[in-house]
Amino acid sequence: MKQVISEGCRIPIKMWLDDVEESALAQARNLANLPFAYKHVALMPDCHSGYGMPIGGVLATEGVVIPNAVGVDIGCGMCAIKTSLTEVSKETIKQVMSEIRQRVPLGFDHQTNAQEESLMPSLEPVPTNGVVARQYIAARKQIGTLGGGNHFIEIQKGSDSHIWVMIHSGSRNIGLKVADHYNRIAKALNERWYSSVDIKHDLAYLPIESNEAKDYFAEMKYCVDFALANRKLMMQNIMGAFEMVVGNTFSEVEFINIAHNYARWENHFGKNVIVHRKGATSAKEGEIGIIPGSQGTKSYIVKGKGNPESFESCSHGAGRKMGRKQAQKQLNLENEIAMLNQKGIVHGIRSIKDLDEAPGAYKSIDIVMANQKELVDIIVELTPLAVIKG
């Protein structure tokens, strides 16, 4: 790791980066001073300021779960598959991308018709009168859709000579509804209990034995499963787009999936604790994962090293160095477009509003990967050929 901060903290903060922004460090200090925080707080090399907890943060707790330490896009994550193609022309890529846009709703768009219930996770474990049950019908029109923000579909050329497809997406509106609902409950209960956790830190918690925590865990797990089902349906439709244009290129499909917003029971340093990963991914020894770069930079298929000091975690991407509005104000549109064009990448940056997802808004993925050599090994480097942004 790069550095350890102990001053002013109940437990240490261990960081795999040098250049953490002050606001993110302040949030990490809030985590480190929680009375139920366990062992230390871990900050991944893509860390930046979030809402309550920094993105790229890993927090283990004893006896409580913190909805806001998971975040609003529960189960958001990555998936990737390798095609049998070793070459593809730019014209073919454009045809495939056009076909993908016909099959995968983007941004705020939903499916025209509710999708088959067989594509949805089972409702059996969730409360019958909970958020998921109320959102279920709407979610059947959201499954198989990309969403907006930093979500993307990318076609890439691997260092293994194969063409790859990668998706970044989450649980859509159902995850947001679950997160907001239980964060409100946690805040109300913490105020009623006169909790020592400052309400302004946005880290309200639920005791794990409470009914509220049990309901949250069940609904959070559903959202993680829904996010995976969402990515699977999108990938199925993307495979259909490839087959329409170039024929069957997925005869032996290995589907790689990794989530980066969730909480779950794990054993660390000999104790069962609840590990919250917010913009961080699991990197157990031998576990295969995905670390995307920014639009226009490399992504990576990796294998975890199971480093105990990071709670067996690694970064979830490059990490932002600019806020969205800051990027739109400060980045040069022509320069960002020229950089992508120079690399021959088929992209969607057209106007100033698109600059929030330009490469210049993100940290260097090369530095991020160098900072986590003790967390993961690189298996395949993926160079972008074309990208669709939500």
Per the residue annotation, which of 48, 181, 260, 316 is the catalytic one? Answer: 316
The CA-atom distances, in angstroms, between 110 and each of 56, 149, 273, 299, 317 are 29, 15, 37, 28, 26
Widest CA span of the chain, in angstroms? 63
Task: Find how far residue 215's CA is from the centre of its chain.
Answer: 23
Provide the token pair at 108. Answer: 């705020």
Cα→Cα distances 369→45, 267, 305, Å: 8, 26, 14
> b/e string for 45-80 if b means 16 or more Cβ within 10 A?
bbbbbbebbbbbbbbbbeebbbbbbbbbbbbbbbbb
CA dist list (Å): 98 to 91, 231, 307: 11, 19, 42
Segment (H or E) for 324: helix 324-330
Task: Verify whether residue 201 is a known catalytic residue.
Answer: no
Nearest-10 crossing angle of helices 131-139, 172-192: 160
Under DSSP, the state recorded for 122 is: P
Strand partners, 274: 61, 265
Cα–Cα dist 209/204, whole Å: 16
Output the DSSP codes for 51-82: SSS-EEEEEEESSEE-GGGT-SSTT-EEEEEE
**Can you tell me whether residue 44 is helix, strand or coil?**
strand
- Distance between CA atoms of 121 and 131, rounded to whole angstroms? 15
Which residues form the catalytic set? 316
